[in-house]
Amino acid sequence: MTSSLLLPLEQHKVVVIIRGIAPAYMSDLFQALYDGGIRMAEITLNSEHALESISMMRKAYDGRMMVGAGTVLNEASAKDAIAAGAQFLVSPNVDEGMIRYAVSNGVLPLPGAMTATEVVQAVRFGSPVVKIFPCASLGPNYIKELKGPLNDIPMLAVGGINEDNVADYMNAGAIGVGIGGSMVNKEWIHSGRFDLIRDYATKLRANMGIK
């Protein structure tokens, strides 16, 4: 089960983080992401009407994009997110209940860790991959350093990722990246410039060497 859960991330490599975006913008936003080649996007649970948005986008993009939930801090939140249709769960922390509930329901967990101890703990709880966060403070060399002793653990780099530094994180050994505000730009969204989001996604993927 573990290896199969990881396959979408291995294939698509980019998880888009959608935080603080109202449901009214979701359809246009997801279309822009899809047109830009994005196939995995998470809606954080601390966003307005998050579960509603997850359910809505899961139905609209079923079979075309994986829709996940972010800021899933515990098992209770995991249950709510999966009930709404979330196909993967992302958190800033390592919570055993969240990880085990996700895996037992065939849903990919992406627990957030910073230290080597936290990374190993997440794997021990059953996660096939660990989100390294916050990379905005740690930088790509930190991924490389962690991969030294922990080279067999897939790591997703999250925090401060943009089109200019994404290749550095991939070269450091990340399996993929999570990207938020630099792509999901609220000014672009509120002004209706979803074409800029599409173009950003296209360029980011090109910089990663993804066709």
Could you tell me the strand order of the sheet in which 155-158 lies? 108-110, 88-90, 66-70, 40-44, 14-18, 176-179, 155-158, 130-132, 112-113
Q: Which of 197, 195, 192 is nearest to 179 (CA)?
A: 197
Catalytic residue among 10, 42, 79, 147: 42
13 catalytic? Reply is: no
CA angle, 9 then 12 then 16, to 5°: 85
- Whether 131 is a known active-site residue: answer yes
Q: Please provide residue 128's backbone torsions phi and psi, each rounded to the nearest 5 degrees.
A: -85, -5
**DSSP-assigned beta bridge partners for residue 188:** none
Question: Which one from 10, 59, 131, 147 is the annotated catalytic residue?
Answer: 131
Catalytic residues: 42, 131
